Amino acid sequence: MKKISVILIVTAACLSGLPAQASPEVDKLLQKYQQQGAAVAVPEQGKNLWYSKNGDRGCINCHGSTPADTGRHVRTNKAIKPMAASVNPERYQDSKKVEKWFLRNCKWTLGRLCTAQEKANTLDWLNSL
Amino acid sequence: MENKKALVFGSVLLSGILTFSLYGIGSSIASDDSKHEHDREYEYRDKGTNYSTKSVGTNKLYMEECGSCHMAYPAQLLPTQSWQKVMLGLEDHFGENAELDAESHNSIESYLVQSAARRKGESRKLLRNLGNKTPLRITELPYFIYEHDEIPCRFITGNDKVSSLSQCSACHQNAEKGRFDEDDVVIPGIGRWDD
């Protein structure tokens, strides 16, 4: 019983959107997106984008259905390390890398660039996991 | 004078030893190959070549940029012109966008060109029967096709752990280190290759 309530409290803390870890690189990017016109990030919408489909294509084609698990590149089968920052602390530590992949993956998945708002939402969500 | 003589004698002796030992390696490699005996046309006898001598692992930028969607292919697996052609088309790279900023682009291209397969040296067999062609893929080299034509399709495209021959490391256990000995081949879901 005690155990369960601890789990509940921890889950509640996570759900309430407390940042899982402070990451100066992520903060820097979020600030940049705001300068480009984005409002405050809404992680819930980042999650929606992540799981949405454009025809056959979606982020989960390569990153898998659970961000805490290893994904597989849909064309090459190569393993892609988990996207949840708490599982894979190497994530989102280099803003050039983040921008490069937003560029490529948004084009591939949505057939267009992501807006600053979409990037802020998704990044904030993934970084909070 | 005496010194010079000794030096000359020394170098002759040394090169003799080297030639002899290289010959030894060459013949022992050739003799353990029975499969290709009848293929006079192709003389792919030298085996167990390590393609990573200009080691893949030392170029961090290449490993990172060209190793994110698939393994970073050892540079010695394609000739210079092929790498140049690959690098020219990164915006549409086999249907993917693999574009790079100018600085990374130049640095990676010069690494690939420096370490590419040569007509001379250990990578030469890769270029046999290639003529003047400039394939974009390792899997299009005549040598590659020849080495893999005995593998049934159901082991490759019919195998979702492999999916295509381009995924070297799915079967070659030491591919990331640049080693492609047929003795190190394990086909996922099928087992060790034995012929």
What are the tokens at B23? Answer: 């010959």
Write out the residue range of the structural domain in which residue A66 sits. Answer: 20-128
What are the tokens at A32? Answer: 């940049």
Q: Of A121, A83, A95, A81, whose CA–CA distance to A23 is shortest?
A: A95
How many domains does the structure of chain A reveal?
1
Maximum pairwise Cα distance, chain A: 49
Answer yes or no: do A73 and B69 touch at CB < 8 A. Answer: yes
Average pLDDT of the segment spanning B95-115: 92
Question: Quick check: is A73 in a domain?
Answer: yes
Q: Are B83 and B75 in contact (CB under 8 A)?
A: yes
- The 10s digit of each residue's pLDDT in B158-190 is 888 888 999 999 999 989 888 888 888 998 888
Q: Does B102 touch chain A (CB under 8 A)?
A: no
Q: How far is CA B155 from CA A4, A67, B160, in A?
A: 47, 30, 9
CB-defined contacts A:B, below 8 A: 31
Q: How far apart are CA B51 and CA B179, in angstroms?
A: 6
Q: How far is CA A99 from CA A95, A103, B153, in A?
A: 6, 6, 39
Domain residue ranges of chain B, discontinuous segments joined by +:
1-27, 42-192
What are the tokens at A104? Answer: 């490529």
Q: How far apart are CA A2 and CA B6, in angstroms?
A: 86
CATH number (domain holding residue A114):
1.10.760.10
Answer yes or no: do A75 and B96 touch at CB < 8 A. Answer: yes
> pLDDT class for B3, splitting at 50, 70, 90?
low
Question: Quick check: is A13 in a domain?
Answer: no
Contact list, B166 vs chain A (CB under 8 Å): 76
Q: By mean pLDDT, which of A38-47, A113-122, B16-25 is the weakest?
A: B16-25
Question: Quick check: is A12 in a domain?
Answer: no
Answer yes or no: do A75 and B97 touch at CB < 8 A. Answer: no
B84 pLDDT exceeds 50? yes
What ipTM was reported for this prediction?
0.75
Q: Closest Cα of chain B to A66: distance in Å?
A: 19
Answer yes or no: do B167 and A77 touch at CB < 8 A. Answer: yes
Rg (CA), chain B: 20
What letter represents residue B187's amino acid? Answer: I
Contact list, A102 vs chain B (CB under 8 Å): none
Q: Of B165, B143, B166, B194, whose CA–CA distance to B72 is shortest?
A: B166
Please report the beta strands in A25-74, taking only residues with DSSP state E, as ranges in sequence order.
Answer: 71-72
Question: Quick check: is A105 in a domain?
Answer: yes
Q: Does B168 touch chain A (CB under 8 A)?
A: no
Q: Does B72 touch chain A (CB under 8 A)?
A: no
Average pLDDT of the segment spanning A86-91: 94
Q: Does B163 touch chain A (CB under 8 A)?
A: yes
Q: How far apart are CA A113 and CA B170, in angstroms?
A: 33
For residue A97, give the chain B residue with the closest CA: B65
> Coil, helix or strand for A97?
helix
